[in-house]
Amino acid sequence: SAATAAALTFEVQPTNVVAGAAITPAVQVKVADAFGNGVAGESVTLALVGTGVLTGGGAVVSDGSGVATFSGLSVNLTGSKQLTAASGALTPPTSSAFTVSAAAAAALTFEVQPTNVVAGVSIAPAVQVKVVDAFGNGVPTELVSLSLVGTGTLTGGGAEATDGSGVATFSGLSVNLAGSKQLTATSGALTPATSSAFTVSAAAAAALTFEVQPSNVVAGVSIAPAVQVKVADAFGNGVAGESVSLALVGTGVLTGGGAVVSDGSGIATFSGLSVNLAGSKQLTASSGALTPPTSSAFTVSAAAAAALTFEVQPTNVVAGAAIAPAVRVKVADGLGNGVAGESVSLALVGTGVLTGGGAVVSDSSGVATF
C-alpha cells in the first residue's frame, strides 16, 4: 500500500474557460507518497490565484488512485488565473495559467455620462457605454448605438464596437437643439440603458429674425401686439442676453426701438413701439455684427384730427371772380399728419357774401380744396 502522503501535483491542469462555466475537463490533483504512489482518502482543496471567486474548489477526498477530481469548477471574473492545491501540511502546488473570458452580454451601463454642452459641439469627455456579462465582466466586440431622448438630432451615435474591456466610446457626439436631454444606449436584445440628464445650451448668435411682425397702427399709438425679434444660433436655438435695437425704414421718428436684451428664449420684445408720421413703413433689427433683417411693411395712419391750417392762402381777386389758386385747408392730427374724410367749411370775415365756402371733405392728404 502507499506510504504517507508526500506531494501534490496537478494531474489535469485547468483550461481556458468562460466566466461562470465549469472548467472542462475537470481539474484533477494527485496525492502521492514519496515513491509516486497515489494516496487514497486525503482531503484536497483548491484556491484561486488572481481576482474573482472560485466556485467548486471545496474539499474533495482522493480516490483509490490518489486523485481528487473537481467537477463544476468555475471562476466569475475574467483575466489570467492560476489555482493552488492544498492538503494538510503538504507543499501547495500552483497550476499552469489559464484564461477566463467574458460570458454572454447581459447588461448595458453608462461608464462615462454625457455632460452639459453647447449645441453642435462635441460632448467631452467622450460618452462611454460598457457591455457586461452577468458577472460584471466587460464583453468585447459588441455593437452599441446611442439615440437621443428629447428634441433635436444626435450626431455621432452610430454603432460602435466595444473594446477589450467591453467599453464603446463615442467621440464627436453632438446635439443640435438646446434643452434638457438624455441618451439611450442599445445593443441587440439587451435592455436599453438611459443616461443621466444633461443640458444643451445655445451656440453663438448667428441670425436675427422677426418673430412678431409690426402691424398697421395709428400714428403715436403703440404697435400691438408688441414687435418681437429672435436672436438664434446656427441651429435655430434662441440665444439669451443679446442686445437688439430697431430702426425705422421710411420717414418719421421711431419711439421705443432702443436696445432690448433677449430673454431665455432668445426673444427681444419691444413694447410701446410707435411711429409719428403716417405712411408705409418697415423696421430693421440690429445686434452686433449680425446681418440686419427687415420687417414686412406696415401702415401708419393719421391720428384724430387736432388742427386746421391754410395750406394755400386766399389771394387778391376781382369781386365775383373765383379766387386762384384755389384756397386749401389742411386737417392734421397732433403729429402733423393729414387727416382724410374730415368736413371743412369756410366763412367770410368782413362784409359781403362768400360763395363756394360750403363743406368740402378733406382728401387722403388731409386737404380740403375750395
Q: Tell me the pLDDT tens digit for each residue of 233-260.
A: 999 999 999 999 999 998 999 999 999 9
Nearest to 62 by CA among 45, 79, 84, 47: 45
The band of 61, judged by pLDDT with boundaries at 50, 70 and 90, is: very high
Distance of CA 247 to the CA centre of its chain: 34
Annotate 135-194 with three-state secondary structure.
Answer: CCCECCCCEEEEEEECCCCEECCCCEECCCCCEEEECCCEECCCEEEEEEEECCCCCCEE
Q: What is the pTM of this model?
A: 0.81
Decide if pLDDT at 50 tops 90: no
Determine the Cα–Cα distance for residues 40 and 67; give it in Å rounded to an integer.
Answer: 8
| pLDDT, average across residues 163-185 | 97
Determine the Cα–Cα distance for residues 22 and 340; give it in Å rounded to an integer.
Answer: 101
Decide if pLDDT at 150 tops 90: no
Q: Which amino acid is at 68?
A: A
Q: Which residue has the cell 443640435?
A: 176
Q: Judging by DSSP bridges, how do beta strands 198-201 and 117-118 pair with one another?
A: parallel
* pLDDT at 54 (0 to 100): 98
| pLDDT, average across residues 22-51 | 97
225 in helix, strand or coil?
coil
| pLDDT, average across residues 44-49 | 98
Q: Tell me the pLDDT tens digit for each residue of 254-300.
A: 999 999 999 999 999 999 999 999 999 999 999 999 999 999 999 99
| pLDDT, average across residues 221-225 | 98
Nearest to 251 by CA among 336, 331, 174: 336
